Amino acid sequence: MRFLSILFILIFSLTSSEIFSQRSPIKFGKVSEEELTMDQYEKDPEAAAVVLLDYGFSKIDYNPKSGFQLTFDRHCRVKILSKEGYDQADVSIPLYFDGSKKEKILGLKAASYNLVNGKMVETKLKNKETFTEDISKNLVIEKFTLPNVQVGTVIEFSYKIQSDFFHHFQDWDFQAEIPTIRSEYHVLIPEYFHYERFVQGYIPLEQEGDVKNRIINYSTSTREGTIANQHTMGAGRIEYRENYTKWAANHVPAFKPEPYLSSPRNYKSKIIFELGNLKLPDRPIQVIMGTWADLNSSFLKSESFGISLRGSNFLKKIVDEIVSDIPSIQGKVSAIYDYVQNNMAWDGRNRYFISDNLKKILDEGKGSSADINLLFANMVNLAGAKVEPVLLSTRDNGYVREQFAMSSQFNYVISLVQFDEGSLLIDATDKLLPINVLPQRCLNGRGFVVSENNYRWADLNHGAGRSKVVIYSEGELNITGNLHTKLTFTKDGYDARNFRGKYLIEGEDNYLTSFFAGKDWDVKSKLFESVTEIQSPVKESYEFTIDKFSDEIQGRFYLDPILFKIIDDNPFKSDERIYPVDFSYPQEVTYISKIVLPEGFEVEEMPEPLAIALPENAGKFMYNASKVGNFINVVNQFTINKSVFVQQEYPALKEFYNIIVDKQKEMIVLKKQ
């Protein structure tokens, strides 16, 4: 991407009806006695720290030496209220670079302030106490830790980032993991730069704006810069508008993740900028963002993406050997899936461009998500199946904003394979998942299908399986209240994957230690079946004795017939829910318990049957207890049929869980005849 830079070399003058300037509302180092003595934030008394002020100002201004330039100023002050807030002293500043061009930090200042014997003591950060960490080919992070931090410390830092990358305009977070008393962000942008803006979150923002006129009288020479490389001489006058906007928020609560929440990046209150187009004086408009059609075309032409799918001769022989005796397309794709899983290991990196040529990737036997999934797609293509790559953003990377046709939103790629009876989304990175189930990290809204003829969006949840568990317990109660039982779990879908991950990685001994933690059971035997057969459900079985399974009170025996509660505790504690509830995938649990009573015992009280459902059949729960002869039978069935519940559905969902928890607490009362 190249941007225009005009060098004013002879005469430069700037006039304006009112030249705009904006500074932080507080002065660096001027810490008040109230800030130093503060020991609690009244709106959040449990807060470990609180942001006193977070100020930011981004502007695109004209520099006679270098042309238009983007600068970002930040000034932040934080109060440490407890030891748990010490991590606020660790500061990271991301810096973008491309080749020899890179963003620069100017004027970094940082200090901590403590009250000692009634006087403020300042400890400054030294230059040697900063360091740089490489993150990716276009990103480094400047890091430092504020010195002499203790409970009661006020920390403060400020800096300026100077940048030539107008497409890298600073976003702004109004919300953090700790509460914020005041956050404000100012931007000043010439009319030549059009940015799309997206405000997310649930915090109300103050907003104000203004337009300023600027006039430049000049004698110029244009030189090669970051947009154009023409050389012309001339003189003239430019008059243009600067658009100023300020957003601010007061007493912003800490962002506190709730149960079943996707990435916090989706919900923290912030404003996001994306450069849409550029229109400099006497120049045609330059589209920066483009369209999804443009993005689709660029990926198809990329050596590291689309071109890699058009055939690799060295793979042809391998593919022919794999599929030669398999008649169906489904069978061929499954065989290739097995081959890739057996010969490739995911290195944990999320990418959408391959890192090297496919032969070297296969020879090394490991690679990123792009290395593995584009290798798989290439082999499927050579086998004669229609395959298209699908760009997506993983759950921890946040949602894709479909109004912004920007490749930077994606961080992962999978495959969409077409069959006569339909299509299947496939990811070959997880050795513990069958071909028809996507890893949980991929279940995040919609993915973009890159296609020669029909680019489009695909619902990623269509690639989700179900979490399905059947629990069967068959036991015999003796007259002393001890229970001897056999217990079997049959797990399928994501529950099978979760079991295999723990069992195979941690080992059987560690798994059993965790499984029986807090349970005083005398285990007689155990059995695990189909652990490595990922296309099949996994089964785990136990035989054990529980002493004093029923409690005797005044001649009556109180029996809890459910060894494993479907829902032991309601995870939804809040009265209201700010964010959607995201289960990732549908869930299904069936619990069947059969208990043989000792001779001479009868049932005095049995829980009433119950059947409830959420609106539109989004969830169901059924409970039924019965006695047939000397057997007690209890059946529980719990189902969540959709992945995401919006905030308006939360009260019904919370009450649904409350009812289930309460129902599973009910006892069966026995007495001797």
Q: Are 87 and 178 in contact (CB under 8 A)?
A: no
Both tokens assigned to 173: 């977070």
Residue 98: both structure tokens together: 């491309």
Give dist(CA 487, CA 393) in Å, integer: 40
| Confidence label for 217 from pLDDT (cuts 50, 70 and 90) | low
Name which of 556, 536, 444 is nearest 490 in CA terms.
536
Provide CB contacts within 8 A for 545, sequence distance 6+: 482, 483, 484, 485, 521, 522, 524
Separation of alpha carbons 82 and 95, rounded Å = 31
What is the Cα–Cα distance from 464 to 291, expressed in whole angstroms? 29
pLDDT at 234: 55
Q: What are the E-state strand segments in 530-584? A: 538-546, 550-553, 556-559, 581-582
* pLDDT at position 430: 96
Most trustworthy range by pLDDT among 226-240, 464-478, 527-541: 527-541
Question: Which of 588, 575, 566 minimizes the C-alpha distance to 653?
Answer: 575
Residues in the chain: 673
pLDDT band with cut points at 50, 70 and 90 for residue 4: very low
Beta strands in 380-517 (DSSP E): 386-392, 412-419, 422-426, 446-449, 456-459, 467-477, 483-493
pLDDT category at 605 given cuts 50, 70, 90 is: very high
pLDDT at 463: 67
pLDDT (0 to 100) of residue 7: 29
Residue 50 has pLDDT above 90, yes or no: yes
What does each C-alpha distance from 625 to 205, 647, 664 come to in angstroms?
Answer: 54, 34, 11
For the packed helices 329-343 and 313-323, what is the interaxial angle rounded to 10 degrees? 120
pLDDT band at 554 (very low <50, low <70, confident <90, very high): confident
Report the Cα 70 to chain-centroid distance in Å.
29
Mean pLDDT of 566-572: 93
pLDDT at 23: 84
pLDDT on residue 221: 53
**pLDDT at residue 514 greater than cutoff 60:** yes
pLDDT per residue as tens digits for the range 81-131: 999 999 999 999 999 988 888 999 999 999 999 999 999 999 999 887 888
Residue 359 main-chain phi, psi, to 5 deg: -65, -45
Rounded-to-integer distance, Cα 364 and Cα 260, Å: 37
Residue-wise pLDDT tens digits, 395-451: 999 999 998 898 889 999 999 999 988 899 999 999 999 999 999 999 999 999 999
Calculate the dihedral angle through the C-alpha atoms of 41, 46, 49, 55, rounding to the nearest 10 degrees.
Answer: -50
Strand partners for 145: 90
pTM of structure: 0.82
d(CA 536, CA 493): 9
Percent over 90 (pLDDT), the chain: 69
The answer to whether residues 44 and 179 touch, using CB atoms and an 8 Å cutoff, is: yes
Residue of 395, 354, 392 whose CA lies nearest to 376: 354
CA-to-CA separations, 139 to 99, 134, 267, 275, 525, in angstroms, rounded: 11, 7, 24, 19, 54
Query: CA–CA separation, 485 vs 487, rounded Å?
Result: 6
Lowest mean pLDDT among 111-125, 179-193, 421-435, 455-469: 455-469
Residue for token pair 């500043």? 93
**Burial status of residue 493 (CB atoms within 10 A of its CB: 0-12, 13-18, 19 or more):** buried
Q: Which residue type does 442 have?
A: C
- Average pLDDT for residues 609-635, to the nearest whole number? 95
Confidence of residue 548 (pLDDT cuts 50, 70, 90): confident
- pLDDT tops 90 at residue 320: yes
Which of 51-65, 165-179, 225-239, 385-399 is least confident? Answer: 225-239
pLDDT for residue 233: 43
Cβ 523 vs Cβ 516: under 8 Å: yes
Single-letter residue type at 314: F
